[in-house]
Structure 1
Amino acid sequence: MKINHLTPAEENLMKLFWKLESFYLKDIMEQHSEPKPHQNTVSTYLKILVEKGYLSTEKEGRIFKYTVLVPLEEYRKFLLKEISHHFFNDSGKEILEFLFNENLISQEDLRGYFDLKIEMKPAKIKEPKHEYANEVLNPKKDKKSKDKKKKKKKDQPK
């Protein structure tokens, strides 16, 4: 099943839908926090989410019953893989270092989860090398010119 990206508004509604799992439009209107959106707005979002494959519909008389097709866990995996690919070079290590350096995860969290006796230290940020800039700013002199200067110094009387 291919999972598509959600807009922030769609994602907000899906958070409610994931709690309900199966629902009618009236259930959404009752459950939605204040300020409640207009019923037509919710209907439009429901139609879009059905088209994107997040919800299915089942007609019961004159109304539709909606059921969640993409579980929250699948969407979370999708988002984490997207973030990992686009921002962390598909590296779990880079994600973990980032979370640790940003204080979003602690050593205690890691110990508790992995039951390890390790101590993580923040990664040292290496200074970028500016080799080309150094070559331009401080050009190396040829050996020949150095040799000539040495000979001139030797040839000069003291």
Structure 2
Amino acid sequence: MKLSNSEEQLMQILWKKEKAFMKDLITAYPEPRPANTTVATLLKRMQDKDFIDYVQYGRSREYFPLVKKKDYFSRQVNGLIKNFFNDSASQFASFFTKETNLSQDELEDLRELIDEQIEKKKT
């Protein structure tokens, strides 16, 4: 399941805070901040999608993520590779390295990361 852009923005705030009440989430937004009703709607939709849950304290709810940022990001990247690059990581890597204007240092860092993963796969 995927988050909308506005849900993802709110999820980014919640990942950073780890747990938060709605008022804390709203104040974490840049100006102009969304209305309480907007954030409440987003929180409900995200809960329905099983991305978040809450603990009730009287009339207040403290929200927390059920999905780790790394897991969500990994799913999104894998979906991107599948949908736009014919499920080919090498096509994605080719596009990424050509189209993002990486510096020589950044490319060398990428090569180092890839070499480390190759070594791990050998063992």
TM-score of the pair, normalised by structure 1:
0.66
Percent identity, please: 32
Is the contact between residue 26 and residue 36 of structure 2 (CA under 8 Å) also seen in structure 1?
A: yes
Instruction: Please give the secondary structure, in 2, of the residue aligned with 1:115.
Output: helix
From 77, 85, 89, give the equivalent of 1:80. Answer: 77
- Provide the rounded CA distance (Å) in 1 between the counterparts of 2:74 and 2:21: 27
CA RMSD of aligned residues (A): 1.7
Counterparts of residues 22-41 of structure 1 (less than 5 Å): 22-41=19-38
Residue segments in structure 2 that go unaligned for 5+ positions in a row: 114-123
Quick check: which one's helix share is greater? 2
Name which structure has the greater RCO, CA cutoff 8 Å, separation 6+. Answer: 2
| Secondary structure of the structure 2 residue equivalent to 1:53 | coil
Find the counterpart in structure 1 of residue 66 from structure 2.
Answer: 69
What is the number of residues matched between the two proteins? 113
Match of 1:42 in 2: 39
Higher alpha-carbon Rg: 1
* Displacement of 1:108: 2.9
Within-5 A mapping of 1:95-110:
95-110=92-107
1:66-122 CA-partner distances (Å, limit 9, x unpaired): 011111111110110111101111111101110122134344323223339xxxxxx
Deviations 1:109-155 (A, max 9, x none): 23223339xxxxxxxxxxxxxxxxxxxxxxxxxxxxxxxxxxxxxxx
For residue 90 of structure 2, what is the aligned residue in structure 1? 93
Unpaired runs of 5+ in structure 1? 117-158
User: Structure 1 residues 70-79 or 105-114, which shifts more?
Assistant: 105-114
CA separation of 1:57 and 1:98: change in aligned 2, threshold 3 A: same
Question: What's the TM-score, normalizing by structure 2?
Answer: 0.83
